[in-house]
Structure 1
Amino acid sequence: MRGKHIKTVMVGGIFLCATPIMAAEGKLLATAGLSQLEGSGGGGLVPWATLAGYDSRDETAASLFITDVNVTDYRLTSMGVATSLYDRVELSYTQQTFVLPASLVTGLSLDSEEIKQDVIGVKVRLYGDAVYSLYPQVSVGLQHKQLDNDFVASYLGAKDDSGTDFYVAATKVHLGAVAGYNLVWNLTARATKANEMGLLGYGGPDNSGYQVMMEGSIGLLLSPNWVVGMEYRQKPSNLSSVEEDDWKDVFVSYMPNKNVNFTAAYADLGTVATQKNQKGVYLSMTGYLW
């Protein structure tokens, strides 16, 4: 079923590439960023202060995305939709599907190899513009997450099967900053109780309260259509039973027009649920409906 979803979105991406009239005209190409794993506009691992669309102050925008992360022992698929309203408010919904290795399914006598999580996001731009203001664009947001089944999370010692992350993000584009190329950076502070983004529950014996984790992205716009960069996401460590490492990636994004973008990355997630050296390929596509 997941393969059918991916093929459908790929066909949609080809259609969007061929129909440039569908895009909003409010912002410069690439300033909408990408779709983050939890559905917020921004980078792949990190939510940015930018909103998930090209809308200006008198426009709205809507988008859909699919992301597939395939590392050594696990696979994570995120599919979601987002809307941006008048360059001020972003709303998003995402469903994440985390596929466990057969050894873990057998060892825990699980009924399914999948853990699913729903994520509802809200982001509000407070002030600034990532391109035109002297200071960064700043936004605040939240991501409320709910697991469909807490068996694995409870087995590992998590306290809850749902939780809400709160974050503040700052994003700035510096025009012609590096040998004439545009440079973009983002810094995000996230208050969270989540174990592995919430897929292993929230809180644990080592800590059950909120902790502030830092996240960052930096990218170089080689042309209006191509961006290369890297990201880093700090992670908490709440569970005595399993180690949790920070996440990082190196990415390249192609944005042929304001209707669609494609991203490929090499992701290093470290240790995930007892499995070490979780490295692999990150692929994502976002289509902008208007």
Structure 2
Amino acid sequence: MFNALAENLQLAMQQQGVPNSAANRLVARLAPMQRDIVTARATPAAPDRGKLLATGGVSTVEGAAGGGIVPWALISGYGSRDSWGANAYYTYLGTQDYQLASYGVVVGIADRLEISLADQQLRGSLAPLDRLAIRQQIFGLKVKLAGDVVYDQDSLMPQVAAGILYKRHQRLGGLDALGVSRVQQLGASDDHGYDYYLAATKLVLEHSLLLNATVRATRANQMGLLGLGGDQGTRTRLMPELSVAYLADRKLAIGAEYRRKPHNLGLDHEKAYYDVFAAWFPNKNLSLTLAYAVLGDITVFNPKRQRGAYLSVQAGF
């Protein structure tokens, strides 16, 4: 398998003390040859884990493969075009006044189709929202449309994928004293709806750099945790999202992300999310991501910029 050849070459160079940047430059020259060398599909009986380490990304807080808060064009798992792969993840994000837990599963099929299911739970810790408990489920689909993040090293063509996220509110609790039990009572138009996105991801191995740009069509308030649409706006709007990562080592990526969001609710002066992160891939069965995230204001009840640590664990095959 061509992927195995490239990965074994990386390992051999690492064992011989070749700098990561030099190793990546060599693989960047080798990768485009895959189109001429591999002419037939294999039919493995089990997941082959054929993709290069880290090229399945990690799981975002909404389930799709990418960074922590931005979906990328990568397809989750290490299954090549002849196979499939799956991951389960758990993410915890804690700020001064809130804790967000997200967990779920994501499956990548033939390095072409991705299916994800995520469960988000947000809790408050400071009055008057110290009893706040919100739950949301997200079902996602992503399809790779064009390009290959590894093999297109000889062109400017990125890997491009389109995705859809169906978000449905499950619970809003802890606001009984305010007479609130539904997100519509906070001003939201709906408790369910869709996000649509188009992502373009370019891996420049020669410079050990990953670049991603995503455009999302959304009405979601705080990712949908506060419903969709609201008294300040109900229409779907296009929001830009950006990511950059430096491959310091074949097992370590360091980067930053930015995600702009709509402001639909009068009681929530919603701001953009951004983070800086380090993702470690000790092997193809495990990844750990540590980040410092800034989420902006979350409702007028706790009017301060929310920031804190983000930890995500992903396990799979």
What TM-score does the superposition give when structure 2 sets the normalisation length? 0.79
Paired residue for 2:151, among 124, 132, 136? 132
Q: Which amino acid aligns with 1:166?
A: Y
Q: CA deviation at 1:230?
A: 0.2
- Whole-Å separation in 1 of the counterparts to 2:91 and 2:222: 17
Q: CA deviation at 1:113?
A: 2.9
- Whole-Å separation in 1 of the counterparts to 2:49 and 2:78: 7
Sequence identity percentage:
42
CA contact (8 A) 1:246 1:270 kept: yes
1:223 is aligned to 249
2:133 is aligned to 114
* Structure 1 residue 214 corresponds to structure 2 residue 244: no
1:80 is aligned to 104
Q: CA deviation at 1:153?
A: 2.0
Q: CA deviation at 1:223?
A: 0.6
Q: Which amino acid aligns with 1:99?
A: R
* Structure 1 residue 141 corresponds to structure 2 residue 163: yes
1:157 is aligned to 187
Q: Which amino acid aligns with 2:79?
A: D
Q: CA deviation at 1:231?
A: 0.2
Q: Which amino acid aligns with 2:212?
A: N
Q: Which amino acid aligns with 2:100?
A: L
CA deviation vs aligned residue, 1:172-208 (integer Å, no higher than 9, x gap): 100121xxxx100110000000000000010011110
Q: CA deviation at 1:125?
A: 0.3
Q: Helix, strand or coil: the match of 2:223?
A: helix
Q: CA deviation at 1:277?
A: 1.4
Q: Helix, strand or coil: the match of 1:209?
A: coil
2:119 is aligned to 95
Q: CA deviation at 1:102?
A: 4.3
CA contact (8 A) 1:65 1:81 kept: yes
What TM-score does the superposition give when structure 1 sets the normalisation length? 0.86
* Structure 1 residue 271 corresponds to structure 2 residue 294: no
- Whole-Å separation in 2 of the counterparts to 1:153 and 1:168: 28
**Which is higher, the Rg of structure 1 or of structure 2?**
2
1:171 is aligned to 201
1:29 is aligned to 53
2:142 is aligned to 123
Cα distance, 1:262–1:24 mapped onto 2, change above 3 Å: farther
- Whole-Å separation in 2 of the counterparts to 1:236 and 1:113: 22
2:81 is aligned to 57
**Segment drifting more, 212-221 vs 270-279:** 270-279
Structure 1's unaligned 5+ residue stretches are 1-21, 107-111
- Whole-Å separation in 2 of the counterparts to 1:280 and 1:200: 20
Structure 2's unaligned 5+ residue stretches are 1-45, 173-180
CA contact (8 A) 2:47 2:84 kept: no
Compare relative contact order (CA 8 Å, sep 6+) and give the higher one, 1 or 2.
1
Q: Which amino acid aligns with 2:125?
A: P
CA deviation vs aligned residue, 1:42-84 (integer Å, no higher than 9, x gap): 1100000001111111101111000000011000000000101
Q: CA RMSD in A?
A: 1.4
2:313 is aligned to 285
Question: Moved runs in structure 1, 4+ residues, more than 6 A?
Answer: none
1:17 is aligned to none
CA contact (8 A) 2:76 2:106 kept: yes
Paired residue for 1:47, among 34, 47, 71? 71
2:279 is aligned to 253
Q: CA deviation at 1:25?
A: 2.9
